[in-house]
Amino acid sequence: VSCVCRARSLVKRKQAHSVHEVQAECCLSTIDTSAHGTMSGAPDADMVEVDVQDSPAPPPSSGMSSGLKAFLSGGAGGMSLVFVGHPLDTIKVKLQLDTTNKYKGIADCAKQIVSQGGVRGLYRGMLAPLVGVTPIFAIYFWGFEQGKSLMDSTWGAGTSKTTAGLMLAGGFSAIPGTLVVVPGERIKVLMQSGREGGPVGILKHVARTEGIARGLYKGTGLTLLRDIPGSMAYYGAYEIIKKSLTPAGQDISPGIVVLSGGMAGACNWLVATPADVLKSRFQTAEPGRYPGGLRQVFSELVKAEGPKALFKGLGPAMLRAVPANAACFLGMEYTKKLLNYLFP
């Protein structure tokens, strides 16, 4: 016997204890009616048709999607990273561009920078990444969330929680991120290499002499070569370490965020440094210096300086990665927590 019960009005009238009681009563009423030959007739006047639902009503929308929360919290994390990590990033680039063995190591490089330009010399070129860091990191973290959604929609719910799913989602984040990061990276490495004129002056000069696409986006392929595998290691390491250290059902602690973020940064640079060295050489070269592109940069570097040159700057990159990315994920996690509190 088919029985469609509409319950809210009927519950009020019958004072039933549950929806199931209403459903049973309606069904009995329908069966009784059919016994008298009126099953296909009009419904009882006391019955109002409303769909029975056992599940609670969905919570009201907060007006802020998970993607937007990831975007905002990622921007906050990126700003934290730049403030903590830029001095060591400057040292890293100086070492990568050193073809005459001017610097004896990290400490000597830092000493020479400070002696020539003071402590401000360590922060040279910070304005470009700082101005662009909110959209850069916001888009990377937003891209990671979109990558996880893509994993779930393509290969089934829960895929984004697997190791492979997390790493693929991390690699996906580099694709939209690169569109924003390349111009700022080009200006940053030119300033760190000693180019004069400030970020605005360098931006105008590059755009005027080399063009937007060929100038500001010079090194896009090498940036993708660096950031896709680097981001796979970065997000994958963070999520895996964080989950392995956090007891089930408990909130993540600041100490675990710091440890997981620091290790994620270290994993990223272990993977990304060779491509980063090639990118720095290519982006600081004069126009037309490397007509053969990546292959020429790689072959000339290895021939002149040996395979170890591909890992130039790894020391300061690793020293920077731990505190800077610990700060990044700490800023990201607690900004997200604040947003979840304000917009549950």
The residue type found at 294 is L
Predicted pLDDT at 128 = 72
- The Cα 201–Cα 285 span in angstroms is 18
What six digits make up the tokens of 265? Answer: 């940064």
Judge whether 265 and 321 are in contact, CB under 8 Å: yes
Residue 112 burial (10 A CB sphere; 0-12, 13-18, 19+)? middle
Judge whether 216 and 182 are in contact, CB under 8 Å: yes
Grouping H, G, I as helix, E, B as strand and the rest as coil, residue 66 is helix
pLDDT digits (tens, 9 = 90+) for 114-137: 999 898 899 888 887 777 777 889
Predicted pLDDT at 224 = 96
Predicted pLDDT at 217 = 94
Q: Which residues, given as ranges, of the chain have pLDDT below 50? A: 1-53, 55, 58
In this structure, what DSSP letter does residue 246 have?
A: S
Question: Quick one: which H or E segment has residue 330?
Answer: helix 314-342
Q: Give the rounded distance of the alpha carbon of 201 from its chain centre.
A: 30
Residue 85 burial (10 A CB sphere; 0-12, 13-18, 19+)? buried
What six digits make up the tokens of 264? Answer: 């994620």
Predicted pLDDT at 60 = 52
pLDDT digits (tens, 9 = 90+) for 239-262: 999 999 999 888 889 999 999 999
Q: Give the rounded distance of the alpha carbon of 203 from its chain centre.
A: 26
Residue 12 burial (10 A CB sphere; 0-12, 13-18, 19+)? exposed
- The Cα 86–Cα 98 span in angstroms is 18
Closest CA to 314 of 40, 129, 126, 89: 89
What six digits make up the tokens of 22? Answer: 């209403």
- ∠ at Cα 332 (330, 333), nearest 5°? 70
What six digits make up the tokens of 298? Answer: 């790689």
